[in-house]
């Protein structure tokens, strides 16, 4: 299993969401449209463990959550 974090830095959102890399929303860091949905959002690089992905998400100082579609753990 591997993980990616979607970071949305827009002021109204400010979130970092952890996904399994195989999640349809993540698509191995490519996103559903092949790229993030706006220029203030980005996908992290790949993480080998959930703990590493969570640590990265927390380091962004955004509101951390887990994807409710793929339920990474």
Neighbouring-strand partners of residue 63: 15
- Choice between 10 and 69, CB closer to Zn ion: 69
| CA dihedral sign, ordered 48, 73, 59, 25 | positive
Give the residues lining the site for Zn ion (CB under 5 A): 19, 23, 25, 67, 69-70
Q: Least distance from C-beta 9 to Zn ion, angstroms?
A: 19
- Choice between 2 and 11, CB closer to Zn ion: 2
Q: Least distance from C-beta 19 to Zn ion, angstroms?
A: 3
């Amino acid at each position: 299993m591997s993980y990616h974090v979607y970071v949305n830095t827009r002021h109204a959102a400010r979130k970092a969401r952890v996904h399994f890399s195989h999640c349809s929303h993540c698509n191995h860091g490519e996103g559903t449209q092949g790229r993030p949905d706006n220029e203030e959002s980005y996908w992290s690089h790949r993480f080998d463990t959930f703990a590493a992905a969570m640590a990265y998400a927390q380091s962004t100082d955004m509101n951390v959550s887990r994807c409710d579609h793929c339920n990474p753990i």
